[in-house]
Amino acid sequence: MKIMRYDPKDPKIKALITRSHLEYMEAVAIVQPILKEVKKRGDEAVIEYTEKFDGVRLTPEEIKVEESEIKDAYTKVEEKILNSIRLARDNIKRFHEEQLRRLPKHWKIEVMDGIEVGEKISAIESVGCYIPGGKASYPSTVLMTAIPAKVAGVEKVVVVTPPPLSPTILVACDMAGVDEVYRVGGAQAIAALAYGTQTIPKVSKIVGPGNKYVLAAKNLIYGIADIDFPAGPSEVLVIADNKANPSWVASDLLAQCEHDTNAQAVLITPSKELIKSVEEEVKKQAQKAVRKEIVEKSIENLALIYAENMDRCIEFANHYAPEHLEIITENPEAIAGLITNAGAIFLGAYAPVVAGDYATGANHVLPTGGAARFASQLSVRDFLKTTSLQKLSKGGLLKIRKCVEELARNEGLPSHAESMKIRFE
């Protein structure tokens, strides 16, 4: 745990904001040969790397999860968990259906007499959802990735996730309307979705969070398939004032710490007393953590920052561009209005990140590592694409003839100019 004073010039503050890419570059070197081998050898390479990294030896027939296995999973999940997945699914579906309702389906404008230009919006045909595994099971991420894809109208949604699979993952896949599930994870799963194998289909877009190897693989295959955005280790920034409950703040910080050892949790406040209280609470609560080994390692990344005033807290937040931002202050809405960079904002003491992780309906797949400066939460928009429509009459074309011919010749493309000229000879 690090306690520091906010100073934009302080190297420690700069390191928090930039989140070094050294580990990512190391991951790229490891991932590149995996992508190459999966592209070359398909299922054979996928099976080989699954055994190497996950310790599970698959046969080609076991890569795809059968429907009977998914149906059987319902008998292995407690009813209270099934009901929780249903409630989360319903809220997530409602939220994303409203997103879709507010988007234009088709529009056009007459830019000049006889020249009509517009857009048609259609869904991407196939999507692969990466669901992390290993340290924990994430049925919520199944819901957050697959539901908006289905609401957008994606015809084929497939899930890849590391073995062994938990029944709750399979149940969530079924409830979310996933078409196919494959028990493959890591960089080899991303490669399989990008290139296609004998068993796993090639998809047009890959979404979902993962570790640094998954992140590296997604970035490397971009262009072969589309991806959502950088979604690496989880992070939270809490802006709090002297009225915030230190026990609650500490609990929210530790909730992020338990994700994995690379998770980052930060508190910034103009209250030195709150920092002292939160520090004590973090130490006390960490001793009771179930995932104590992960939490204790992750706490090394935890930072408690004192700022002179709330304006400085806001300044840091916009530079840091957190995945999750909690605002636990007297007037959180006013502060939120000044935030320009954040994946998701949680307003007030009764809006912890964990609520959005599971059941508010808003998406929990968010840009990390400062990518909130230019990226947004996963949404139905990520599964839609636009196509321009252009209709011209002879009179409309005549109005721009001279413009087109002059620009074409200026660019050294005489055949372009001729394509226009020939229509008026």
Residue 170 phi, psi (nearest 5): -65, -40
Return d(Cα 119, Cα 106) in angstroms, integer: 6
Question: Which long-range contacts link 280-287 to residues 24+ away (Cβ below 8 Å)?
Answer: 280/246, 281/246, 281/247, 281/249, 281/250, 281/251, 282/1, 282/250, 282/253, 282/254, 283/1, 284/250, 285/247, 285/250, 285/251, 285/254, 286/254, 286/257
Residue 367 phi, psi (nearest 5): -70, 135
Structure tokens at 399: 């109005």
Catalytic residue among 96, 259, 324, 364: 324
The amino acid at residue 279 is E
SS3 407: helix
Whether 78 is catalytic: no
Residue 185, number of CB atoms within 10 A of its CB: 27
Return d(Cα 286, Cα 280) in angstroms, integer: 10
Please, what is the Cα angle at 327 between 256 and 286, to 5 degrees? 30
Q: Are 211 and 260 in contact (CB under 8 A)?
A: yes
Residues 6+ apart with CB under 8 A from 128: 158, 159, 160, 193, 203, 205, 206, 207, 225
Structure tokens at 370: 């400062």
Return d(Cα 153, Cα 67) in angstroms, integer: 22
Residue 376, number of CB atoms within 10 A of its CB: 16
Q: Are 386 and 120 in contact (CB under 8 A)?
A: yes
Catalytic residue among 323, 326, 330, 425: 323
DSSP 8-class letter at 125: S
What does DSSP say about strands 344-347 and 264-269: parallel, antiparallel, or unpaired? unpaired
Whether 259 is catalytic: no
Tell me the catalytic residues. Answer: 323-324
